[in-house]
Amino acid sequence: MAATLQGKRIAFLAADGVEEVEYTRPREAVENAGARVELVSLKPGSIQSFNHLDQSAQYPVDVTTKEADAGAYDALVLPGGVANPDFLRTDPDAVRFVRSFFDAGKPVGVICHGPWTLVEAGVVRGRRITSWPSLRTDLTNAGATWVDEQVVTDNGLVSSRKPGDLPAFCSKIVEEFAEGKH
């Protein structure tokens, strides 16, 4: 039987510059499994997604990082894109929001450049993780063990490298989010 996320509330934390497929495909996967999703971002209105370096669609923000409470959610997803996590990691409210999921032992999914925000939140030390290859040094310097694998799970943290990994990433986050706390 497929994992179900019925009754679960999942936060997606993203800002302008998010890689569109790294937002839309995981969101579709958790919604198809029954979850309710909210887009959390730095400011009200909408965020601008990208398809690599080309602007793509805009997506409406449900709640800002200043107002968001990690306690209201069962899990968190951090999509990539180069600019998106760079904006997030400079926002103290976004960093606090991310750290709160780890403090509570809630599952988190992160892909591509998304781990930059995890580094800023100080939550990767001692963890096994993957990402876009250019983040390897940042993650290693922050105390993580970086590996080049399609999908890596470490005590509720699911990570993947790139859009090509999305099928495995989406399947694994649904499975981990169904299991709940770690």
Catalytic residues: 113
Contact criterion met (CB below 8 Å) for 152 and 131: no
How far apart CA 86 and CA 12 sit, in angstroms, is: 16
Q: What are phi and psi of 171, to 5 degrees?
A: -60, -45
Contact criterion met (CB below 8 Å) for 151 and 168: yes
Q: What are phi and psi of 89, to 5 degrees?
A: -70, -10
What is the DSSP-derived secondary structure letter of residue 46? E
Single-letter amino acid code for the residue at 97:
F
Q: Which of 125, 164, 130, 116 is nearest to 143 (CA)?
A: 125
